Amino acid sequence: MYPNDPDKLSHARKVLQKKARDNARTPVQWSSEPHAGFTTPETKPWMRVIDDYKTVNAEAQISKADIGHPRECSVLGFWKRALEFRKFRKDVFVYGDFQLIDPDHEQVVAWKRWSEKTSWVFVGNFSGEEVLWDGLRGSGVEVKKWGGSNYYHGEKLYDKSKGGNITLRPWEGLLGLVV
């Protein structure tokens, strides 16, 4: 509308920048290659690549299994299992009801999903520090069994607290079957 008005163009760019989804996204960090392997080294992505891409990337998650960590305990493994879980339990994870738990917590995001047949809870520590969380207390949610984590596998996972105070490691995600 105002192609020759630099002030109005600048204002329009600021408005569009605030409404653009690019503010909440970054290129996928595939590897430690330039631009995190998202594009060729000679191509510059339009979005900034996060600085930790040399150590935090899909290739590093996949290779964890090669250095003695069970692959399923990586963040990548956790979300692959969660998506597979969603595929076979659509009644809960696609069509089920949803309730946030402890919505005002600044570091932990938790929710319950349920259907007529079953209920599940997700608890995620979205911070880089350990958190002692008691958000299940008083929520009416009681975990019967933790079924997935990006830190634990097997018996260690089953020893995790199922109510009261739950210690969440940095960036830990848990998926639990509700009683």
Can you list the domains of the chain with their CATH numbers?
Answer: 1-56 (no CATH), 71-178 (2.60.40.1180)
| Rg of the chain over all Cα atoms, to the nearest angstrom | 20
Nearest to 122 by CA among 77, 67, 82: 82
CB 11 within 8 A of CB 17: no
| pLDDT reported for residue 86 | 86
- Which comes out higher in pLDDT, residue 98 or 28? 98
Instruction: Write out pLDDT tens, residues 59-88.
Output: 887 776 555 555 556 677 777 777 888 899
Work out whether strand 119-125 and strand 108-114 pair parallel, antiparallel, or are unpaired: antiparallel
